[in-house]
Amino acid sequence: MPSYLLKRLLTMGITLIGVSLLVFMMLHLIPGDPVRYILGDFATPESIAELESRLGLDKPLPMQYLHYMAGVIQGDLGTSYVTGYAVMEEIANRFPITAQLAVYSILFGSVFGILIGIIAAMKQNTILDQLVMVISLIGISAPSFWIALFLILLFAYHLGFFPISGYKGFYSLILPSITLGLGTAGNIARMTRSSMLEVIKQDYIRTAQAKGANLYRLIFQHSLQNAMIPVTTLIGLQFGALMAGAVVTETVFALPGMGSLIVSAIATRDIPTVQGLILFMAFLFIVVNLLVDLIYTKLDPRIRYE
C-alpha cells in the first residue's frame, strides 16, 4: 500500500505538470494582451515595455514557464495582475465557499441520486421507474443557469425561503447546491439503477434469499455495497463536472467562490490567477479521485493495491 501511494503521488505530479503546461500555452495563445488591458488604450510604448519587463512577459515563453513553475514548487502561484494580491491568498479566500458548495452538492446529488436509483431499480418497468428516469434526464440535460433561475424565481423571489443571491452563510448555499447537484443526482440515479439491476441478478442475492433475508436486507446488506463500486467511480468523475458547474452557478448566485473568480480573471486576462485556479482545481480533482480509488478497497475486498 505505501508503495502504491508513492506511485500515485508521482503520477499526480506528472499530471499536474501536464496541466500547467497546457494551461500556460493556452493562455498565451488566446488573443488579448494583459499589459494593454491593465494600462488601457492610450498607453505609451515605453510604459508597455516597462510593465512587460516588470511582469516578466518580455522573456521567451519557456523561460516564463520555468520561472512560473519554480514558484509553484515553492507554493507561490504568482501575483494577480488586477488586484495585486498573491494568487495563493485569493484562492485561500475563495476556496471555503466553493468547497462547501462542492461538498453540499455532492452530498445532495449522491444521497438523492442513490435513493431514487434504488427505487427505480426495485420498481423496474413501472411508472415510478419511468418517472425517476425522466427526472434524472431533466437533471442531466437542463442547463444549470436555467435551473438556477427557476429555483431563484420560485423559492427565493416568490416564496422568499432563501436569499436571491450573495453569500450569507449556509442558507445561501442551499439553492446553489441543489442547482449544481441535480445533474450529479441524475447521473448517479441512472448508474445506481443499472448497477442495482445488475447486482440483484447475481447468484449471491439468490443465496441471501434462500437464507430467508427480507427485501430490506437484500437491498441494503447484500446489493448496495456491490452496486456502489461503479457509482463511486462516477461520483469521483462528477467532481470535475462540479468544478466546471461551479463557474456558472457561482456567477448566477453571485457567490464569491473560485468559480466566479475564474470568470472575472479570464475577462481581465489575469493570467496568474487563471493559471493558479486551474492548477488548483486539477489538483483537487486528482486528490478526490485518489480518495475514490482508496474507497474501492473498502467497498470491494478483492481490490488490493500493491
Partner 1 sequence: MAVTEEKELLRVEQLCINFKTEDGGHIQAVKQLNLTIKEGETLALVGESGCGKSVTSLSLMRLIPKNAGFTEGKIIFEGKDLNRVSEREMRSIRGNSMSMIFQEPMTSLNPVHKIGKQIGEVIYLHSSLSKAQIREKSIEMLKKVGIPRAEKIMDEYPHQLSGGMRQRVMIAMAMACTPKLLIADEPTTALDVTIQAQILELMNELKKDFQTAILLITHDLGVVAEMADRVMVMYYGQIVEQADVRTLLKSPKHPYTIGLLNSVPDMDDESDKPLVPIMGNVPNLGVIQAGCPFYARCPQAFQKCHLENPPLFKLGEQLVRCWLYESQEVIA
Question: Using CB under 8 A as the criterion, which residues of the chain lie in contact with partner 1 when the complex forms?
Answer: 202-204, 206-214, 221-222, 225-226, 299-302
Measured from the CB atom, the residue of 161 and 204 that comes closer to partner 1 is 204
Minimum distance, C-beta of residue 194 to partner 1, in the bound complex (Å): 18
Minimum distance, C-beta of residue 273 to partner 1, in the bound complex (Å): 45
Measured from the CB atom, the residue of 47 and 214 that comes closer to partner 1 is 214
Measured from the CB atom, the residue of 103 and 303 that comes closer to partner 1 is 303
Are the CB atoms for 211 and 238 separated by under 8 Å? no
Assign 105 to helix, strand or coil. helix
Measured from the CB atom, the residue of 11 and 225 that comes closer to partner 1 is 225
Within 74-86, where are the H helices?
A: none
Measured from the CB atom, the residue of 200 and 279 that comes closer to partner 1 is 200
Report the distance separating Cα 201 and Cα 223, nearest Å.
10
Cell (9 digits) for 51:
510593465
Task: Dump the DSSP string for 119-164.
Answer: HHHHTTTSHHHHHHHHHHHHHHHS-HHHHHHHHIIIIIIIS--S-S
Report the distance separating Cα 169 and Cα 256, nearest Å.
12
Measured from the CB atom, the residue of 54 and 206 that comes closer to partner 1 is 206
Please tell me what DSSP assigns to residue 268: T
Minimum distance, C-beta of residue 215 to partner 1, in the bound complex (Å): 9
**Pick from 214, 225, 239, 236: nearest CA to 192:** 225
Minimum distance, C-beta of residue 132 to partner 1, in the bound complex (Å): 18
Minimum distance, C-beta of residue 301 to partner 1, in the bound complex (Å): 4
**Pick from 282, 287, 174, 300: nearest CA to 228:** 300
Minimum distance, C-beta of residue 216 to partner 1, in the bound complex (Å): 11
Q: What b/e sequence results for 2-35 when a residue is b if at least 16 CB atoms lie within 10 Å of its CB, and e otherwise? A: eeeeeebeeebeeebeebbeebbeebeeeeeebb
